[in-house]
Structure 1
Amino acid sequence: LLPDESVLFIHPDLGIGGAERFVVDAAIGLNQQYQCRTGILTTSCDPRRSFTEVQDILQKDTGRRFPQVFVKGDFLPRSIRGGCVRLCKNFSMLYAVLWLVYFGPVYNAIIIDQLPAIIAVLQFLIGKNVKLIFYCHFPDHLCNPWGDMRSSLYTSIWRAAYTNLFDGIEKYFFLKAPCVLYNSLYTKSICDRHLGKHHTGRVLYPIMKLCNDLEISNQAHTSIRTEIPGFSQEDILILSISRFEPKKKILLALQTVENMLVDVPAFWKTGTSKNQKEIRLLLCGGYDDRLSDNIACMNELQEWLRDHPHVDKVVTIRTNISEDFKWQALRRADLVLYTPENEHFGIVPVEAMSCGKVVLASNSGGLRETIGPSGLYGVLVDANPRAFAQAAIELLKDQSRRQLIGSHSIERVRNIFSAEACITTLHNSLF
């Protein structure tokens, strides 16, 4: 071990999401497994909507020295009259990087995600003495190609010019990055198509915290049902965990439950009147009331529930949940729904699989790679309420099948997505 192994992660907004989960777990993992001095540089971090580990670091309630978290540029605007989000994001990150170069601690390896142009700034200011890696979750312009601008303020010509400018910047500096890692083969294929093939590109699956009971036998593990306040052990609990954004298609979870209630009402009402099983849907995820897409998503869900009171009474929504609550919910769930289409990787499905739970997801994108062949480690179907509802009913009626899939999924997580193996791969890429 070299005494000067140090790694900095640069991420625009350290909130609650899959990209942030990778940054936090990778920084902690490198420190614990290889004693690297690690840090995280971000332009925004609200303790109310961040992971427990980040909250502890910010409040200095942890005994560990690393990773350090540096928040620089949070006073800068996130948008201009609701638009120009990409411009503001790049400008804020430029400010943070300038602070790092002139006032921050020195690192000999830096990992940047989402904004490849920052790599060029670092190369110009610090030369080639620092190993620079761009970790690609997905091309930024494909995540929200038009939502960045408001048509009421800009003509289509200016909108196209603005978008093409930042798309071109992303593509140019992506190809100029000295080293690129992708979070999945699916992401690599999309980047090859839209950004161009990078000469160093290879896949590093996200480093993530998994269920800490993997040593339990598969049969025992798939039968774990922890208690959650507000939910009866007799309830049939369906769980959905996704950020409250339109692209996550959370409405599909509500529509799935609606179809299930219509199709087989007798299935949810069994036994005596004093001991009836009822379906319950728990929606969890990160929510930021500063982001217009988060607000729009929540308003859509609440409006739909007001129009469907028979579904509303079985739905519970919880935002910005703690890590402890997330694992409680995953262990308690009878079925996990994952509704996004063409997801880059899907950390929540892997977390659920590590708990021996069956994941029902859309048959698209990186989920085919994450979950694997449908029916063996999880179930993949077309992303429509009818298909989701039919598959959910079949799974909930067959407990032995759920246990078998759960056992297989635990083995898949052990063999492919273990944190130790991914951290070793990352460390070897850095040093």
Structure 2
Amino acid sequence: MGIALLLGGFLALMFLRVPIAFALGLSSLATVFYLGLPPLMIAQRMVNGLNSFTFLAVPFFILVGNIMTEGGISDRLVKLADVLVGRLRGGLAQGNVVASTMFGGISGSSVADVASIGSFLIPAMTRNGYPAGYSVAVTVTSSVQGVLIPPSQNMIFYALAAGGLPISTLFIAGYVPGFLLGLSLMVICWIMAVRHGHPTGERYETREALRVAANALVGLFTIVIIIGGILTGVFTATESAAVAVVYALLATGLFYRTLNRAAVGRIFATTLTTLAIVTAIIMTSSAFGFLLSYLRVPALLADGIFAISDNKIFVLLAINVLLLILGMLMDMGVLILILTPILLPIATKVGVDPIQFGIILILNLGIGLCTPPVGTSLLVGCGIARLPLERATKSLLPFYAAMVVVLLLVTYIPALSLTLPTWFK
């Protein structure tokens, strides 16, 4: 009955459109009263959820992403992407993917990628003869690289939920899957371009190409600070994020001169709003996760799966199917915090490394960001294009296929996630 009250209460409150943090907290509180546990336990678990040095990196990474978005870095990255791949068949679509690769390495957010890059690339692609649904599909699916290529806020959430995995190792593990995803989407773009006769982009003169590259590299150096500082041991993940904030402010304020007082005000207001939501969700999901463990939900789910088969291929396939379904229905960050304590023990029991499982989990839920009915990135992309959801979804099908292929490769070939972290130990 306790499990039914906890999970049923949460789902009922979600169905009634209660904010996720309140749904988690209220269902946890109701379950504590039903079980006769001291209510103070909920408060203690909520506080413990934030009692981590790792969590301090979250506000800094959110702030860096907002500074770069408001500071106009995205349009410079789009120009650089156009210089690099614009001459290919379907060059604007190819450039969209490459721009998302670079911007994802700064913002760490799929939604921020779509909102920033998509705001002018989707209309630009439409003006150049690409169908509106196809323009949305390319922008939305390529934005998933932002949750894999570091710095990724969702990797920090996973590290917290998994009991304190090293952020630097997770960051490095995301590179190969992230680039593999981008490459697979570029292949789909090329195939579609050849089939439908999409145009090539403009050719840049050498001097102009160098000017565009130099202009964009100032913003891209933020990635060098974050990842380089961590890999060399100069900074922890939290310290590198703080240094990156200072650099981003200097780059956008002094070099690009795109920030003013009003822009800085918007940046901090947006950051505080996002951080308040994230903090509330982490706190309440910590209490919710404790009750899941107390009620032995992970063990019961594991017993159910292993009762069917303990074959590693089957177990991972079952986890992937479950994650893809849930990713269509709920927010990514919440699912990471709730599902990690449940599914990670099952995955490790069949020999999956926790780092690899983190990449599998994040990629699964990243696909959910592109999937109706609750795919946040898809909704943002459709809003920019003023396009009905069903029209965009039809155009997404070949890109979904590519993403699922990458997901299966990451699931069943551990080296894709674990080789780079081994090199940098």
User: Smaller-chain TM-score range?
Assistant: under 0.3
TM-score norm. by structure 2 comes to 0.25
TM-score (ref. length: structure 1)? 0.25
Q: Which has the higher strand share?
A: 1
